[in-house]
Amino acid sequence: MATKVEVGEGNKKETSINEGDGQDKATISVTEAVAEERQPPPKNVADLASDTFEKLSEYLQGELAGTSDDYLTLEQMNRATIGKYAEMKQMTSSISTAMQDLNDKYKSLQPYLTQIDQIEESVASLEQAAYKLDAYSKRLEAKFKQLEKR
């Protein structure tokens, strides 16, 4: 069994009742379709929506400006870092050149340093000989004084 009822000018209401197999089961389905008439929202709502969109726009512009500032700061930091690395490269190059010059000078002085080491060894040997000679002369002097007393 199905029944249709129309109410109002844009409202439709449909009701159907089905009974099955003599049992006491009933299925009821109701469908409503309401056509809304478009009415302009109250002035207060329109003002609030406009204000909300303006504030959202300001917020998004602020976020974008903040991000843009972050990128500008990062760019400045990168430029400063490039400058520092260029200075460090120049300094490293200067140090490398100075080290090479020092190594060349050391190589040119190496024979003289070898001679100095040999002279130092000779001086140490002479010093030992002088100590031995001094000790021997003191013993001789003591023997001479002993023989002179007799």
Closest CA to 15 of 7, 23, 55, 97: 7
- Asked if the model's pLDDT at residue 81 lies above 60, the reply is yes
CA dist 7 and 111 (Å) reads 121
Q: Quote the Cα angle for 137-142-146, to 5°.
A: 145
* Tokens 């049992």 belong to residue: 23
Which of 8-22, 28-42, 125-139 reaches the highest mean pLDDT? 125-139
pLDDT: is 28 or 113 the higher one?
Answer: 113
Tell me what the mean pLDDT of segment 65-93 comes to: 97
Choice among 15-19, 46-50, 61-65, 107-111 with the minimum mean pLDDT: 15-19
Kindly state the DSSP code that residue 141 receives in the 8-state scheme: H
